[in-house]
Every structure is written in structure tokens, then in C-alpha cells.
Chain A
Amino acid sequence: MQAQIDELFDVCGTLLALVRVDERFSETRSWSGRLENDGKALSATRDQWISVGAERDAPTETKQRTGRRVSPVRTKQSAMQPYLVGFAAAQPLSLQHPVTITLSVGPATVTARTIEVTALDVTRLQDEALRMALCQALRASGASEVASIVSAPVRIEPFDKGGSLHIRRAVRTGAGVVLDGSIDGMAQPDIRIVSADLRCGTMPSQVVLRARPSEGREDGQGEDGRTAGFNFTAVLATSASHATGAFYIVRIAATGEGTVFTGPLTATGPKDEQEAARLVRKAFGPIQSLPQPLIDQIYRPVLALPASEARARRFEFGPAPDGATPLSSIIIPFYGDAFFLNCVYHLQRVLGPGFELVLMVDDPRIWPEVYGRLSARQSSISIPTVLLQGNENYGYARANNVAFRAARGDVIFLMNSDVLILDPTGLTEAADAIRTRHKAREPEAIIGFSLLYEDHTIQHIGMEFPRSPLVGHLRIADHPMKGLPMALYEGENTRRVPAVTGALMALSSHLYRQLGGFDPRYERGDFEDADLCLRAQQIGAEVWLHVRPGLYHLERQSIRGMGDESFREMITHLNCVAFNARWGTHLSEQSEPRVAPQTLVRPARRPISVRKRNPAEASLKAPQAVRHHSP
């Protein structure tokens, strides 16, 4: 064998394959490595490979080429020369699909292997040859911040409570860990946090240091002779694959010393996003005070939901769709309050044929109640109803996207659970309009609806995007006339609008699929409806508002003093900033009369692919998996 592929590991987002090549052929210049995953390919030519340890009998030109060779350590037994082959992926791999590495000479494949992405354990950094190669490979892949962690010899030491490092809090969140601690010593340290599998690490901006004054004396010496030090707060963003939660605190070497990895430490206890948000706010400042890149680095890991694969188990109630009439699927995510099942009961009373309900419960707290309540009134369920059980909170966007995969209709309605339909005529009419457009090959449409509060005032008659002085003059998704009596609305009953709320909107399943559904970049739920409408218009669809009676959105006011309003505000701001980053320029250009940009703005995400379900399985009441691959 001329070449062998041993490992593929992920170090802070950089993929590195550890390969071995027969040293007799290792200097062949036409070697290349190729990584394939889910239809995408990355490649690394031979001159991007970093040898682990010295290359045997290396010709002099190699030395000149690399200029970064490591000290020669010959392995006498082996005739294979190890190399690190770096693949800089712009996006995370889709790990549901196989990853294949191919080593070739010229066009000829020498070896290929389908391989799992594994972790590189921190302890292996003590292998000097590997560490140095890693440092070079990371630098070569453009990950110089990560490379600095392994730029000096590594010493691993266990955490010692009496030592110079103190941890006050380690708070887990959905997508990270917030660490609050202090370190003794007069010199300002360079601290990083890495996960024990090295897949995740902090960037310098994710750690903030504050000098800790000594107690009592001004010369930096404490009463007990201990030196003063620094408090630090760090945000470690974790990835879905990083499940263990163990991490190391890294003190990067000052000149001449080694880099010290202290750990492994584990953040125990339940997730507490609110406490994490409090710590981050105190250390880094309010979210409103930070620029967008820092918001993404510091606040997103705290406010985001875990990016794990969204799945759902499927249960069916009521009759199966008759297959004869065109079907509209009403998708309703349930989170937080099973009370709104009452609106589903009501739908069963008022809806006619041609509809199915897809209820997505992505909240384990209310699942038993929802399942139990529906099960106890099966004989009242006259509309085909699919009930989906999610494992955890997926957020509004992903919950809808998962539920969409289970929807069978050619028209879908996205509906909040607190929407109450007294008169379904508007829905039937919208579904007809969407089908008619489709048949006539007219532009696709997203149709939103006038929605009322319980006092018959306006909750929604279309959305606009004015700049708001309340959020630093960013554009917000505004509901004009919100709270005013519907009788004061004198506009058209059917009109084009910039966007409509996702609390109740209709579109063809073709369009939803084409758009890839809601973008889960909008955490938990905010702005994803506006984003969907804007993306739809960029591919030629139209957004319409239908003003129709009998449609209520019983969105309630937030309860003051529940303690979560500032957390909620942070999420809104995070999403608002993300929305403005994507659409700010476009909306400003639009508001100027002459400019009409034709550029296609696409979110960096895969479209949702819909797998055909086996019709025999579909009729089973037994649960079956519906899988959604998070982009």
C-alpha cells in the first residue's frame, strides 16, 4: 500500500486528516487529498500537507518550500510518513451524510476511505511532533487564533482548587458554556477555553479580563501576601457534536514558558440561559451596546437553542386524508402552554374537508398533557391530524420546518397555537387562490391575514420595516395599527404588503420547500416570518394580505415581573441584528425609489428535502421517525 487514511478530526472547525504515505513516494508533487460530504468536495494539494515529524530523506527543495519544518524525529520502523491534511470548510459538515477522504496521485485514486469525524483528545497535544504539525496545519488553514493555543509545548495539569485558577460559575446554555472565574498573578494572562475534544474553542473576543484589585494594599500584594489577579468571563460556543461538556482552561505561554491546559472541567447542573445571560451582560455589556460580530460571538451561544438534529415522532389521529380533494396542511407548533389545544378543538368544530392539522410539540414539558388530551378525545377528531413529538425546544423556525416534512398538503398554513379561527372561509379562499396561481403559472404567493385581538382590535394587517429609535435605529418588523379598532381600517380587503406575520400565513408547499422553510438563524422565534417573505419576493413570489373576518391571534402581553422580559428582549435584539445584517441594505435601497436590486440573497442553508413516505407506513398509528437535518 502506498497510502493510508488513519483519522479525520475536527479542531475548532478545521478538519484535519491524519494520513500516511509510503515515504518512497511521499515527495511526489501530484499527491492530493479530497474530502466529500453531502455533494460538496474540499481538496488539499500536496504542498498544503504538513508532515508529522521529519520527512525521511527529504529533498532540500522541500525544506525551502515549507519553511516550517519540524525538528527531525525519525521513526526507524515505519516506512510510512504521516501527514496532516487540512480541509478548510466554509460550513460545518453534514454529519448525517458519509464523509469520504480520497488520496490521489494526479487523476489516479490511491486510496479512499469513508470515515467518521472523531475528536482529537487534548492529551495527544503532548506529542510534540503532532502538536507542531497541528500548529502549522491550523495556520495554513487560516485558523491562526486556534493555532496559537498549540504554538508552544503543552502541559496538562488537573484543576487544583488551591491553585492560582479559580472558577466561580460554569453555566451551561443551549449552545455553550459561560465561565466566570479569576486567576492570580500580576501579569495579564492570555486565557482561552477549549472543549476537551478540541472541537470548540474561544476566540480572544469571547474572553474578557478585568483586573482584580488586591484586598487592602495598593502594591498588588494582598494581606496574606497573595498577589492580586484578574477576573475573567468567557463564552465557549459549543457545537451539536460536543456532547460531553468537558473543557480545559488554556493559559497561553508567555515567552519561554509552555502553554498550560487545566482540566478537564465539566459544567454540571441544569442549563440556565438566564443566569448565563446575566453573567455575560455584566462582563461584556448589554447586547444593545455590541456590534453585530460580537453579538454573534458572545450572545448567540447564550441565547441560541442547541443546534442538534431536530427529529419528531409521529402519531396520527382522526381519519386519513381522503386523497380526492386537494389538501391544505395547517402546521401548528406547540410550545410552553397546552391550553391552546382548545383552539385545535375549535378547529375540529369549524373546519370543513380539505384540511389536515400537523401539530408539532417541541416541548417535553407539555407533551404528556397534549398527547393525553388528544388521546382522550379521539372520537371528536374529524380532521386528519398528525401529532409530532419533538425531543426538545427547536425554536419556531425549526419546529415548523420539521413539521413541514410531515405535511401532506400542496398548500400549507403556518399557524401559531394561540390563533383562534372562528370563520374558516378566509383559509379556504386563500388555499384556492394559491392553487389557482399555481395552475395558471402565475407568481407564487404568500398570503397573510388580518388578525384580531380578543377585543376585536387589530393584531395584524401586514408588516412594515421602519427604523426604530428604540433599538438603535435598526429596522423592526412593525405591525401598523396594532391595537386599534378594526373598524378604523379603511384599506383594501386584498392588497400587496411588504411582509405578513407567520402567526397565520398560507403558501404552496412548493414555495416553502424552494425557500428552504424558515431560517433557524432567527433564534427561538422572531423575524423568521419577515425574512421568509423577503426571500420569497426575491425569487419572484408576491406577498398578499387578505382582510377577512373571524381570525383571532390571542397573543398575550408579557407579564411584567416574571423576570424573563430582559432575556426575551435580548433574543429579540439578537434576531433584529441578524435581520438587519441580512436585509438592512436591501430595505434601504427599496425605500429609495429608483433602485431595485435584482441580486438574489440566499441564506447559507440547504433546502429542506422531502422524502416520500411509504403510504403503508403513513397509515400506521404507531410512531415513526420524522427526521430533519438541521442545516
Chain B
Amino acid sequence: MRILILAHGHPDLSTGGGERAAYSLFQRLKQSPGVTKAVFAAADNSGAIGHDAPFGSFRGRPDEILVATPPVDGFTFQSVGYDALKHLVNDLIHAVKPDLVHIHHFIFWGAELFELFRRAGVRVVFTLHEYAAICAHFGQMAKPDGRLCHVSSPGECGQCFPSTGAGKFFIRTTILKTLFNQVDHFVAPSQFLKERYVAWGLPEERITVIENLLDASVMAQSRARLTQAGKSGRQKAKWVFGYFAQINPFKGFDVLLEAVSLLPDHIRRQVIIRIHGENRHYLNTEFHERTQVLLQNAKDVVSLMGSYRSEEVIDLMAACDWIVVPSIWWENSPIVMQEARLAARPLIGSNIGGVAEKTDPSADYLFPARSPGGLANLISDIVGNKRQANGKYLTTLAQARIEADAIHLRRHRALYDELLGR
């Protein structure tokens, strides 16, 4: 079996969950028996290809190809340079001769990818990573005014974008659905995301829920940590809550800071909040100014730890008592939650979409999404009542998560086999 994995970026060049999931799958497939060829192709928009050719390789690796894709229309996701894209895709098909392509995103490529591969006789699997086809607002199904969106329709989308109008949304949806018809099978990393796409119009039987695979180095860290002697039991004077995400409005960074400001003094004295992440894209915004003020008032509690690499995430998480995921949008399957599982840490998550789905009711806690008061109450309850997760149970979950990757891989392979009639 020859497989081409396509992503919208290389995870070492642009850190995003989708890129990492695609790359992790590629890593595993390379070693998977029966896979004679696995090639990873990522769109390159950062100029990482250091020469004039439309293709290059990442760090000289022979099976990691960077592709200088032509621009994509930001509204309908069709390629603005269809002819050039077709040429690139045909070159890839000619060189890699894939039986099957597993596409992890069409952004930076163009949604015609599906039909280009399909027409060339290549089976097409597509993993949905967010709601881009449903929602023109960053694929988040959160309205520009901040409210959550439950169902899209041309009329309602037209209200979110008054200068665009309902008719154009109808055209957008029609085009994307038509192009999605060229996909042989869809993968959704969460049941929640699948349901949103089924409500949008994809046939239920064409979507299989399979969790994302995780980076090999993260798995290795987790294994190493689990083999060490049990370190459970709290001896620390303070409770450490860790936030592992980019600093932006969608991840609920401000919700966490506002919750801190609401903590009663006796709780506040017992709490440390560690922020692992950077604000890269939201400097010079109202969000930045607001969170700077909140941070200033929470200096005694909140520590900015800076960005981190996936190679160190397990250790950083293990140093926390709780991992907080205060996202204000639906999410899909946040990788940070998978990593927390591997680090054998309990989660505090907002009660929303994929976040709620990926928590374990026996180990984790949920608070009402977008509610700083709800989060403050939960933290107060945990600290005040000294609520500790069951260490053994967390270790079991970590062990299960390590093993689950093999299951997720097998399920991918089974899907490929089925599509290829093997």
C-alpha cells in the first residue's frame, strides 16, 4: 500500500493540532507493515523551500515534501491557481504513485484537491479538523460578536457577514458540498465534530470517528514517566494549575485570568497558575490590552512560562496538579487533552463540544463554558476541599492512551484497506 499524507503545514514550521496529527499518522504509517511507501506532503507558505522549484524537502528528508501551493480563495477555499495546483498534484501522483491520499486539510491547498486525486484514481480520505466548511468565521462556529453558533444557514451566516450576504453563503456551501462529494471517506477526531458535519449535510455513514494519533516523542516521554516509581501524593504547599495553549481569545485565556481575580483570598494564596504558551497573533488588540491588565493584577498567582516544545510537554504537565482547558469555542479534539492523559494529569475543561467529550467523568471536572465565575468556584472547591484525582486511575488512563494509539492506527489501516478493497 502506497500512501500520501497531505497537510496544510509541516508541524515543525507551523504548530497546529491538525499538522501534528497528520505528521504523527505519517510517522506510524512509515513503520506499519504492509505500507510500502508513505510520503508526507505539506503546503509551504513560509518560504521554507529555499529554492525556485515548487517542491522541496523538509530538512533534506526524502519522504517529507514541502509544496509551494498557489493561493486559495479565503471564502470558498477553491484554488485561485487551479491549473498550477493541478500540475502540482499530478506531479505528486506521478512521483509517489499513491493508492490512497489522506488529506488533513484543504486550506493552503484548495478544496479541489479531492477531485484532482479522485479523478486520477487515488482513493481520498479526509480528516475534518474544525468547522471550516460550515463556518466562514475561522471555522469556529462562533459568531463575530462572540456568541456561539449551533447551526449554520445561509441567512444566519449572512447576518454574521452583512457585506457578503446570504446568497454567497449558499454558493459557498454548494461548492464545498460538491467538492466534498469527491471524498471517499471522512475521519472525525471527535463525535461532536462528526455530528456538526452530519447536521450540515454529510452522510453519517461516510464519517468515522477516530482519535488523532500523537507525536512519537510525546508517547516516548509518557512511557518513560510511567515506568518511574509512583510519584503520586501531594507534598507541595501550593496547587499548580497549568494552561497549555496559544494565548488567544478562543482558548479562554482571559476566562482563566478573570477566574483568578474572583478567587477568595484564602484560596488565592494557595494557587499557582502556569501559562505555557505565547501570544503570537493577538498583540496590539483589545484582547491583549485587557489580558495585560488582568495579568498585572494577578502577578502573585499567574506565572508566564513561555512557549514549549512537544518534547517537553509531558514533564511540564506532570509538574502541574491540574491542566485547565478553558476554551470558549467548540473545539474538536484538543491535543493538549490527549497529552494531559499521557502525563497522567486530571483536566478542568469548559463544558463545550469536543472539550466536554474528551474528559473522563471519573477523573476530570467541567465548568460552564465562558464562565469565569464557574471556573473560580471549581478551583475554590478543588483547593478548599483538597480534591485530588486518583493517581492510580490516572496512570491507568495514561497507559490506555498509550495503547490507544495503536488502536487508532489500526482503525486508519482498516479504513484504508476497506477503501482499497483489500
Contacts and interface: CB of A to CB of B under 8 A. Distances in A.
A53 B288 CA distance: 88
A556 B175 contact: no
Interface in A342-359: 342-343, 345-346, 349
B170 interface: yes
A373 B174 contact: no
Contact of A455 (B82, B153, B165, B178): B153
Nearest to B170: A454
B391 interface: no
Contacts of A420: 170-171, 174
Contacts of A373: 80
Interface in A513-530: none
Interface stretch (A179-187, A292-300, A374-382, A398-406): A374-382
B162 A376 contact: no
Contacts of B44: none
Given A379-B86, A420-B171, A420-B174, A556 B81 contact: no
Interface string A363-381: 0000000000100111110
Nearest to A375: B83
B243 to A, nearest CB: 41
Interface residues of B, number: 27
Interface in B138-192: 153-155, 162-163, 165-172, 174-175, 178
A454 B83 contact: no
Contacts of B178: 346, 349
Nearest to A378: B83
Contact of B82 (A340, A342, A343, A379): A379
B10 to A, nearest CB: 26
Interface residues of A, number: 25
A453 to B, nearest CB: 8
Contacts of A376: 70, 80-84
Contact of A556 (B70, B82, B153, B167): B167
Contact of A342 (B155, B165, B171): B171
B84 A556 contact: no
A562 to B, nearest CB: 10
Contacts of B172: 342
Interface string B82-119: 11101000000000000000000000000010000000
Contacts of A340: 171
Contacts of A380: 82-83, 86, 112
A129 interface: no
Nearest to B83: A379
A455 B112 contact: no
Interface string A549-575: 000101111010000000000000000
Given A342-B76, A349-B178, A554 B83 contact: no
A160 to B, nearest CB: 49
A345 B175 contact: yes
B78 interface: yes
Nearest to A337: B168
A600 to B, nearest CB: 39
A380 to B, nearest CB: 5
Contacts of B166: 453-455, 554, 556
A342 B112 CA distance: 13
A490 B199 CA distance: 29
Contact of A454 (B79, B82, B155): B155
A418 interface: yes
A615 B74 CA distance: 41
Interface string A15-53: 000000000000000000000000000000000000000
A339 interface: yes
Contact of A554 (B79, B81, B153, B167): B167
A626 interface: no
A555 to B, nearest CB: 7
Nearest to A560: B162
Given A379-B82, A556-B166, A455 B175 contact: no
Contacts of B84: 376
Interface string B54-83: 000000000000000010000010111111
A277 to B, nearest CB: 24
Nearest to B86: A379
A422 interface: yes
Residue from A376, A380, A454, A552 whose CB has the most chain B CB atoms within 10 Å = A454
11 contacts: A340-B171, A342-B78, A342-B175, A343-B171, A345-B175, A373-B80, A453-B166, A455-B153, A455-B166, A554-B167, A556-B168
Nearest first, the 6 closest Cβ-Cβ pairs linking A and B are: A554-B167, A454-B170, A377-B82, A454-B154, A556-B165, A379-B83
Given A346-B174, A376-B83, A556-B166, 17 more contacts: A339-B168, A342-B76, A345-B78, A373-B80, A376-B70, A376-B81, A377-B83, A379-B86, A420-B170, A453-B166, A454-B154, A454-B170, A455-B155, A552-B170, A554-B171, A555-B167, A556-B165
